[in-house]
Amino acid sequence: MLSGTSKIYSLRIRCPYGDYDDWVTLHARFETLEQLSSQPCTFECPTHGAQQAFPLEGMEKQASSPASQKSSPIFSPPQTKKSRRASERKAFHVPVVVYGWSKVIGSFHETTTTLMFNASGTLVRLNTPVNLGDKLFIVSKFTQEEQEVRVVFNEPHRQDGCEVGLAFQKPAPAFWRKTRRSTRAAETFRVFVRGTDRNGNPFSQSSQTADISEDGARLEGVAYLTAPGQVIEVKRRWHGKARFRVAWVGQIGTSESNQIGIYNVDPVRLPWRVQAIEPPPAKSSKKS
């Protein structure tokens, strides 16, 4: 190990349960700050014990000397400690769909929930075997938005499957918001869906909407024909047609069974219009 090449970093972490937020100091590290930010950090939560979380932010401190490398632990708290309760206890658990290509089973899509996340990526539990370096796609079921990700961490889970770290191509903090960019309206009308099924055969199928927005919709009755990532054409008679990408497919046995979530890939074309939802009038405090 070359003298004077190691670095000291301070990383801000938060317990996955949401009630502990603090800084930890890493001594004698040779990774870059970007590399450390894209992999889980192990720390001790005073309430829940040993935990793993992706750093929320970080900074590089002065270079460490050989003497300090021998006497300092890998993880040590900074001199000034501040712990605070997070405002949202479940901010780290977001339902997502991960899909792509696995060398073991080929094309796959799997619905799961994030264990923790930050602007650079997320940690999820997958039953599908994947390898470090694999390029996959992740879709938030809150917003139906999609991001390309790369597998940067993969270890067996203590119960089943693996804990998989997924890194974005570039930081995307807005990906984890729980609100959609546009209002979703519960409207039902018939549409016609065209595309290619899971066997590569073209299909044309009648369907109906469960709800719609300016970005996409939720459709009934075509889940068995499509898979996440596929592009389909949705046509509404007398209203035109547009192309959409399948964001997620509802799992059998759930309330979303045989449904799909789609988002628009033709931004200037949409075969429906969402009526603006006006807020209810304020109640007058004056007595008649």
Q: Would you state the pLDDT for residue 66? A: 47
User: Averaged over 29-53, what is the pLDDT?
Assistant: 76
pLDDT at residue 269 greater than cutoff 90: no
Looking at domain 190-264, which of 3.30.450.20, 3.40.109.10, 2.30.110.10, 2.40.110.10 is its CATH number? 2.30.110.10
Kindly state the percentage of the chain with pLDDT values over 90.
15
Q: Would you state the pLDDT for residue 283? A: 54
Which of 29-38, 197-206, 272-281 has maximum average pLDDT? 197-206
pLDDT tens per residue across span 105-134: 888 888 888 888 888 888 898 999 999 999
User: Averaged over 59-80, what is the pLDDT?
Assistant: 47
Q: Would you state the pLDDT for residue 200? A: 83
Q: Would you state the pLDDT for residue 67? A: 43
Q: Do domains 95-176 and 190-264 have the same CATH topology?
A: no
Residues 6+ apart with CB under 8 A from 269: 240, 241, 242
Q: Would you state the pLDDT for residue 2? A: 44
Cα–Cα distance, 197 to 219 (Å, whole number): 16
With beta carbons less than 8 A apart as the criterion, state whether 39 and 53 touch. no
Residue 18 pLDDT level (bands cut at 50, 70, 90)? low
Q: Tell me the one-letter amino acid at 8.
A: I
Which of 26-35, 263-272, 275-284 has maximum average pLDDT? 26-35
pLDDT tens per residue across span 177-212: 765 556 678 889 999 999 988 788 899 999 999 988
C-alpha radius of gyration, the chain, whole number: 23
With beta carbons less than 8 A apart as the criterion, state whether 38 and 56 touch. no
Residues 6+ apart with CB under 8 A from 143: 175, 177, 178, 179, 180, 181
Tell me the fold of 95-176: Thrombin, subunit H (2.40.10)
Q: Would you state the pLDDT for residue 136? A: 93
pTM beyond cutoff 0.85:
no
Cα–Cα distance, 125 to 35 (Å, whole number): 21
pLDDT tens per residue across span 121-176: 888 989 999 999 999 999 887 777 888 999 988 888 877 889 999 999 888 888 87
Q: Would you state the pLDDT for residue 130? A: 92
User: Averaged over 231-247, what is the pLDDT?
Assistant: 88
- Helix residue spans in 48-181 (DSSP H): 66-71
> What are the sequence ranges of the domains in the chain?
7-76, 95-176, 190-264
Output 121 or 79, whichever has higher pLDDT.
121
- Other Cβ atoms closer than 10 A to 137: 18
What is the residue-averaged pLDDT of the chain?
Answer: 76
Q: Would you state the pLDDT for residue 206? A: 93
